[in-house]
Amino acid sequence: MNTTQITTAQRIKAIVGGSVGNLVEWYDWYAYAAFAIYFSNSFFPDSDLNAQLMNTAGIFAVGFLMRPIGGWIFGSIADKVGRKKAMTLSVLLMSFGSLLIALTPTYKTIGILAPALLLIARLLQGLSVGGEYGVSATYLSEMASENRRGFYSSFQYVTLIGGQLIALGIQLILQKLLLTETQLEEWGWRIPFVIGALLSVIALYLRANLHETEAFENKKEVSDKKKGTVTELLKHPKALLTVIGLTLGGTLAFYTYTTYMQKFLVNTVHLTKEQSTLISFISLFIFACLQPVFGALSDKIGRRPLLLGFGILGTLCTVPLLTTLSTTTSMWTAFFLIMAALIIVSGYTSINAVVKAELFPSEIRALGVGLPYALTVAIFGGTAEYIALWFKQSGTEQYFYWYITGCILFSLIVYAGMKDTKDNSSLDKD
């Protein structure tokens, strides 16, 4: 089916089908981060909160180490067999990981096996979500019309953030309406992981009914030796290095202001768990709504101006924002500071998927988008929480703010030196 012949209704169905699966995957991934403050003492014997959070964050980081492998495996499947099949497999794997977390007994019950099973579950989820990014970014970019690619592909981060919002929303309902804090710590934290496994069934159905992209269908006659192989990918070194460079600062900033921020508000700002959850929920909801706005803007003015805006403002404002946030005592001051940071980060998050997809030819696009991105996220995004908590424990938390600034500055240099992919898109050659 040619994308020029696809009706608006068909395109919306494809975008929804691709995005809902993405939403479920990221819900499962973020449920771990959102509920870590409740289940960390179930899996680790230490009575010190910061040590328990560090152990839990360490397993969160280890899950990221599987993402490059997932990016490679699922990227290759998507380029060789099809985007649809790869997306369906990734959802299945994620649901299995969620069920394993939900059913694992506590440390008091089975000892060292508890954190071991938690680790296995996160490794499986890391494999799944590592493949999900490249494949869904490729699918959404290929399904979009030429003049709306920024807008349509921005929904990847809408659903990515949406997954976190659902996790936080469920947390708010459990906190405010259904359970006491003691019940949440004893057994209530298992509920979101059961929900995640059930949601995967819906995502599986939606993805099973998607149609394949024309960009993939057009390359069916290309030899399998040229599809989704690392050897073929290495023939595009500039595009590979560009993906790493443009991702580095953005992913660190994103994970700092989303997954880590809830713990930062409790551990550093000394807000209550309920206050930090509420701030995270409201700010992330607005952040999600901003993604299509920034994506549509990139369709008008190009991708590079948005990336440069993020790079410049991120370099200049990160230290002042986080320093002020760490000393505030007002819940609403904290909210506005986080919101300012998320608006800056939107210059990266809204368009990073389409920028990467526009760099590679279709026969290696899913692998080219997914593998270098997953490697960079594993090193910088996945370790953000752990490094932040390590600096805090050593009494030098402000060094973490400078670490983020340095990474964003590095990405800014890449943005300044790259062409605008909107005007030089490999998607136009499909």
Number of folded domains in the chain?
1
Across 231-353, the runs of DSSP E, i.e. the strands, are none
pLDDT of residue 4: 45
The CATH code of the domain that includes 124 is: 1.20.1250.20
| Residue 2 is assigned to a structural domain of this protein | no
pLDDT of residue 385: 83
Range of the domain at 127: 12-215+230-417
Q: Torsion-angle region of residue 302: left (phi > 0), alpha (psi -120 to 50) or beta?
A: left
pLDDT of residue 359: 92
- Alpha carbon of residue 320 to chain centroid: 25
Using a 10 angstrom Cβ sphere, with 0-12 exposed, 13-18 middle and 19 or more buried, the burial of residue 147 is exposed
Closest CA to 36 of 413, 389, 334: 389
Q: Which residues of 212-222 are buried (b: 16+ CB within 10 A; e: fewer)?
A: bbbbbeebeee
| Residue 119 is assigned to a structural domain of this protein | yes
Q: Which amino acid is at 306?
A: L
| Residue 260 is assigned to a structural domain of this protein | yes
| Residue 426 is assigned to a structural domain of this protein | no
DSSP3 helix / strand / coil % (the chain, rounded to 5)? 80, 0, 20
pLDDT of residue 294: 96
pLDDT of residue 5: 58
Tens-binned pLDDT, residue by residue, of the chain (430 aa):
444 456 677 777 778 777 887 788 788 877 887 787 787 777 776 655 666 666 776 776 677 788 899 999 999 999 988 888 898 888 888 888 888 988 988 888 887 888 888 888 888 888 888 888 888 889 888 888 788 889 988 988 898 888 888 988 898 899 888 888 888 888 898 999 999 888 888 888 888 778 777 877 777 666 666 787 888 999 999 999 999 999 999 999 998 998 788 888 988 898 988 888 889 889 999 999 999 999 999 999 999 999 999 999 999 999 999 999 999 989 999 999 999 999 999 999 999 989 999 999 988 999 999 999 989 988 888 788 889 989 988 889 999 999 999 999 999 999 999 998 888 888 877 6
Q: Give the Cβ contact number of residue 292 at 10 Å.
A: 18
| Residue 245 is assigned to a structural domain of this protein | yes
| Residue 424 is assigned to a structural domain of this protein | no
Closest CA to 354 of 282, 311, 409, 292: 292
Q: Which amino acid is at 29?
A: W
| Residue 365 is assigned to a structural domain of this protein | yes
| Residue 222 is assigned to a structural domain of this protein | no
What distance in Å separates the CA atoms of residue 387 and residue 406, rounded to the nearest whole number?
14
Global pTM reads 0.83
